[in-house]
A and B are shown apart, each in its own frame.
Chain A
Amino acid sequence: MNIAKPNSYRSGPDERGHFGIFGGRFVAETLMPLILDLEKAYTAAKADPAFQAEMNGYLKNYVGRPSPLYFAERLTEHLGGAKIYLKREELNHTGSHKVNNVLGQIMLARRISKKRIIAETGAGQHGVATATLCARFGLECVVYMGAVDVERQQPNVIRMEMLGAKVVPVQSGTRTLKDAMNEALRDWVTNVHNTFYCIGTVAGPHPYPTLVRDFQSVIGNETRAQMQEIEGRLPDSLVACIGGGSNAMGLFHPFLDDPSVEIFGVEAAGHGLTQLHAASIAGGRPGVLHGNRTYLLMDADGQIQDAHSISAGLDYPGIGPEHSWLHEVGRVNYLSATDDEALAAFQLLSKLEGIIPALEPAHAIAKVMELAPKRPRDHLMVVNLSGRGDKDVPQVGDILRGKSK
């Protein structure tokens, strides 16, 4: 690929929502006026110090930020290379990074007086975060979740219902995250007049990839300051898992223009890249789905293919458009981890550090297990621990006891 290096990796998107050829606004006409309004509302909010101040208040006292940057001493010793730090997003209220973005979007929804919130969810973490903030602000909440994911992430379904949300199991297509997103879009087209679509990752039509990225960038901004305080310098590498790519983008974006920082995104390789998987960059090519152009898993006719991952949160045949661009310009290295590698990492982190990770960041840990031993002891590696594993305990328990695969 022959793509000119930009002056800055942080200046995108352009005014039409493009990161290189990626991104855009590929939506039905019914939604177009709405996303133009959302863009205006977001631009105004960003320039309003009161908005930022209110958000910072909730981030501190409701979400519990800043999340710690924790030196994983025993994991570091075990792997015998780079010094590994965990960015503890799993300690946030609701148990993952998803809440950072939901808080921002709910505050936007309030600014534009929308009283009904819809969301799609895979692992249920975005759904739980949305249900939580809707409870907090007294908003109606409907969460679309693939029927397969409703089965494998039961604890989160129960949580959402306790929080007062309506969870709608989606029976169409492959009954996972992509179909939940289709169904949420169908709801949105039908109920545009009163409904705000709270998208859970850095995907969808412009301005969603940008605003979700901005709301998640608190992760990278904190990491930068914390590392400065602890080690007096920048980290040498960053590692994060990728479903749509929001926890990764939140960690990466503040470091994109620091050339000394190596950056690794980890996609889900499922049963392996030659079999069923969810690694859109490793196994896909550019196409158009869910409002943006990006790398997608599809067949020769442009039909979207089924993704597979043990982790419901990574089980999506696409990736956010800014990641596609960062891949093409070569700024971020995209790797992938299989179901089995993630399971091994899940157990290793639990046993060595007393932290049960969600299956999603277990994919990032799996690649840390490969990358860290090859790096010197003074190499500072940060991995985004995007969520905790409580929701996965029943599923992983069954697998480890040989009850299911």
Chain B
Amino acid sequence: MTTRIDTRFAELAKQGRSAFVTFLMAGDPDPATSLEIIKALPKSGADVIEIGMPFTDPMADGPSIQAAGLRALKAGMTLKKTLELVRGFRKDDNATPIVLMGYYNPIYIYGVDKFLADAKSAGVDGLIIVDLPPEEDDELCLPAMKAGLNFIRLATPTTDDKRLPAVLANTSGFVYYVSITGITGAAAADSTAVSEAVARIKRHTKLPVCVGFGIRTPETARAIASHANGAVVGTALVDALKNSLDAEGRATAKTVNAVAELTAALAQGVKGAQQAAE
């Protein structure tokens, strides 16, 4: 089965460039503004869109993304509304891949089978679930594959060559290499270390490898993108969004543009990268 993710990476490979992958939290700062922000991303140069599913206890996230999740929850966001957000986006964009990223509990409580069916019909292409390692594949990964969704796994600096095959076994769409041991929003790894790690992963898989955690500027985005099939930016976009809010944390006239402008600048960075040799 080919998903929008597979198609998009195949197109980019033909153009000889890397993907720019954005992350923002669903419902941040409120459901309506969030939809507008997401809709503006492809025009600003996002190739793949990751959308966070808010959770009260995001144990792998730093302060910025924690706060984004809490803003969304305070604005009444739920998993059901996150799927509605995707449905809203799909009304005018049937090509840009959407990946939902988050933690397992809200999905478990929603019901795995129902969630997968609803996500597929809303137009979701892939899932990244931080607290589901390969040891727990029965929970969601295998059912997701059956339902035609990509299950995108995180590989980290602690995933050694012995373990990589297990991590890659049921991964599809792309591999997300977390460039540091740490939480979102931490400092970036240097691009030499990243390039070695990507090369190591590529010895084990034909899937595209995207790199995230710690990329904040067009320059780093360019440096990372020249060693990988994609660069993921989250915290910097979430911070730009937050800095555009009023004192009560509500959206202002500047909010959508603030995110779109940074997206465009980062996309320029990624597009300036020389695609790494395949």
**Residues of chain A at the chain B interface (Cβ within 8 Å):** 16, 24-34, 172-173, 178-179, 182, 185-186, 189-193, 287-291, 293, 296, 298, 300-304
Chain A hits for B178, CB < 8 A: 29-30
Q: What is the minimal beta-carbon distance from B192 to any residue of chain A, in angstroms?
A: 19
A27, A179, A288, A298 pick with most chain B CB within 10 angstroms: A288
On whether A29 and B55 interact (CB within 8 A), knowing A189-B181, A301-B78, the answer reads: no
Cα distance, A29 to B141, chains bound together (Å): 14
Residue B163 interfacial (CB < 8 Å): yes
A186 x B133 contact (CB < 8 A): no
With A26-B131, A32-B135, A192-B158 given, name 8 new contacts (CB 8 A). Answer: A16-B135, A26-B104, A27-B131, A29-B155, A178-B57, A185-B60, A293-B108, A302-B105
Size band of the interface chain B makes with A: 35 or more
Interface of B is mostly: loop
A290 x B59 contact (CB < 8 A): yes
Chain A hits for B182, CB < 8 A: 30, 189-190
Cα distance, A186 to B106, chains bound together (Å): 20
Interface residues of B in 61-120 (CB under 8 A from A): 61-63, 66, 73, 78-80, 103-110
B105 x A298 contact (CB < 8 A): yes
Chain A hits for B60, CB < 8 A: 28, 30, 185-186, 189
9 CB < 8 A contacts A-B: A24-B135, A27-B133, A178-B57, A182-B58, A192-B181, A287-B109, A288-B103, A288-B108, A301-B78
A302 x B106 contact (CB < 8 A): yes
Cα distance, A172 to B62, chains bound together (Å): 11
B131 x A28 contact (CB < 8 A): yes
Chain B hits for A31, CB < 8 A: 158
Interface of A is mostly: mixed
Chain A hits for B246, CB < 8 A: none
Chain B hits for A25, CB < 8 A: 133, 135-136
On whether A30 and B79 interact (CB within 8 A), knowing A25-B135, A287-B109, A301-B106, the answer reads: no
Residue B190 interfacial (CB < 8 Å): no
A33 x B163 contact (CB < 8 A): yes
Complex interface bits, B41-69 against A, C-beta within 8 A gives 1, otherwise 0? 00000000000001111111111001000
Cα distance, A172 to B65, chains bound together (Å): 12
Q: What is the minimal beta-carbon distance from A180 to any residue of chain B, in angstroms?
A: 12
A303 x B106 contact (CB < 8 A): yes
B105 x A289 contact (CB < 8 A): yes
Pairs A-B, 7 closest by C-beta atoms? A302-B109, A302-B106, A190-B182, A30-B156, A301-B78, A185-B59, A26-B131
